């Protein structure tokens, strides 16, 4: 039986790593829980519940700083939440092995994305298409680092929306925030500045996680005895992680995560292939 004494510190660690890497707690938490013997579906359910906490917590600060674009968030939420309902439903009816393999694949994808992360400077997009303009998806925000207010216009909402549906499926299916996917969509497809991408993604993640959690709750997969220490731990860990983040060098952090992601990915896929 898994005990609080183990769950809490483990969750703090997962939240800490998740916040530092910007990958969110779920990516680390779910493999960690399964290694401790928690069934993967229960782990996914607990994780997605905790994602509501971590994302809402961080989103609250960014929203108040006026960096988050609420309209972009609310428009895209329509698509992510339906995706999350679909994804969670699939997981409830799936057998464990494919879940392990899919999770491992997503970990590998995150690893590859981190490995090949280039440094693209954001430039204001040239033309905004009619649909996106009708959606009023533009804004400006005060950028503290640059010391000025940046204006931007989003674009290609007609691509961003279906892509977010896909991101929602991943989030609901695997109990993660899928923040990385969402940020990519905001950044590459819709041309939002990086800070707006990440903060808006945070906002969307919370609502998406709620949709997924509802499905798991209805399926009876939520064990509050496990969930309670995990939620507390992950939030505490994330809080600490964001504080520490500023002090570490980028290179050492990056190498650390590349190693962890690869190890976890291989483990999850191997377990899936062995039929656990």
User: Closest distance between other proteins and the C-beta of residue 82, in Å?
Assistant: 6
Residue listed under structure tokens 């954001």? 122
Q: Measured between alpha carbons, how far is 47 from 226 in angstroms, rounded to an integer?
A: 10
User: Closest distance between other proteins and the C-beta of residue 60, in Å?
Assistant: 4
Residue listed under structure tokens 């009816």? 93
Q: Is 82 in the site for other proteins (CB under 8 A)?
A: yes
Of positions 160, 175, 206, 241, contacts other proteins by CB under 8 A: 206
Number of residues that bind other proteins (CB under 8 A): 53
Of positions 75, 100, 111, 152, contacts other proteins by CB under 8 A: 75
> Helices 26-35 & 96-115, crossing angle to 10 degrees?
140
Cβ atoms within 10 Å, residue 130: 9
Of positions 211, 260, 265, 269, contacts other proteins by CB under 8 A: 211
Q: Which residues of 68-84 are buried (b: 16+ CB within 10 A; e: fewer)?
A: bbeebbebbbebbbbbb
Q: Measured between alpha carbons, how far is 243 from 237 in angstroms, rounded to an integer?
A: 10
User: Closest distance between other proteins and the C-beta of residue 231, in Å?
Assistant: 6
Q: Is 21 in the site for other proteins (CB under 8 A)?
A: no
Of positions 13, 20, 77, 191, contacts other proteins by CB under 8 A: 77
> Which 213-232 positions form the footprint of other proteins (CB under 8 A)?
213-215, 217-229, 231-232
Q: Is 95 in the site for other proteins (CB under 8 A)?
A: no
Q: Measured between alpha carbons, how far is 88 from 169 in angstroms, rounded to an integer?
A: 7
> Which 25-64 positions form the footprint of other proteins (CB under 8 A)?
49, 52-53, 56-57, 59-61, 63-64
Of positions 68, 102, 128, 200, contacts other proteins by CB under 8 A: 68
Phi/psi at 148 (nearest 5 deg)?
Answer: -150, 175
Q: Is 207 in the site for other proteins (CB under 8 A)?
A: yes
Residues that bind other proteins (CB under 8 A): 1, 3-5, 8, 49, 52-53, 56-57, 59-61, 63-64, 66, 68, 70-71, 74-75, 77-78, 81-82, 85, 135-136, 203, 206-207, 209-211, 213-215, 217-229, 231-232, 235
């Amino acid at each position: 039986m898994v005990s609080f004494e183990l769950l809490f510190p483990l969750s703090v660690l997962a939240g800490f790593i998740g916040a530092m890497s910007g990958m969110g707690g779920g990516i680390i938490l779910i493999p960690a829980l399964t290694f401790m013997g928690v069934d993967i579906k229960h782990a996914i359910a607990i994780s997605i519940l905790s994602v509501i906490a971590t994302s809402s917590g961080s989103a609250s600060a960014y929203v108040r700083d006026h960096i988050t674009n609420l309209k972009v968030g609310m428009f895209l939420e329509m698509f992510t939440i339906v995706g999350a309902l679909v994804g969670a439903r699939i997981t409830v009816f799936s057998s464990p092995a494919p879940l392990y393999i899919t999770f491992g694949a997503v970990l590998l994808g995150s690893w590859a994305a981190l490995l090949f992360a280039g440094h693209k400077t954001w430039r204001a997009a040239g033309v905004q298409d009619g649909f996106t303009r009708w959606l009023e998806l533009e804004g400006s925000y005060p950028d503290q680092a640059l010391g000025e207010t940046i204006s931007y216009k989003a674009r290609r909402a007609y691509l961003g929306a279906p892509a977010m549906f896909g991101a929602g499926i991943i989030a609901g299916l695997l109990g993660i925030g899928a923040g990385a996917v969402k940020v990519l969509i905001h950044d590459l497809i819709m041309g939002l500045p990086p800070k707006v991408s990440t903060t808006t993604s945070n906002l969307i993640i919370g609502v998406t996680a709620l949709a997924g959690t509802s499905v798991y709750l209805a399926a009876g997969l939520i064990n509050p005895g496990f969930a309670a220490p995990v939620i507390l731990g992950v939030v505490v860990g994330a809080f600490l992680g964001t504080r520490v983040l500023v002090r570490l060098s980028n290179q050492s952090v990056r190498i650390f995560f590349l190693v962890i992601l690869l190890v976890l990915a291989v483990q999850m896929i191997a377990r899936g292939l062995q039929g656990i």
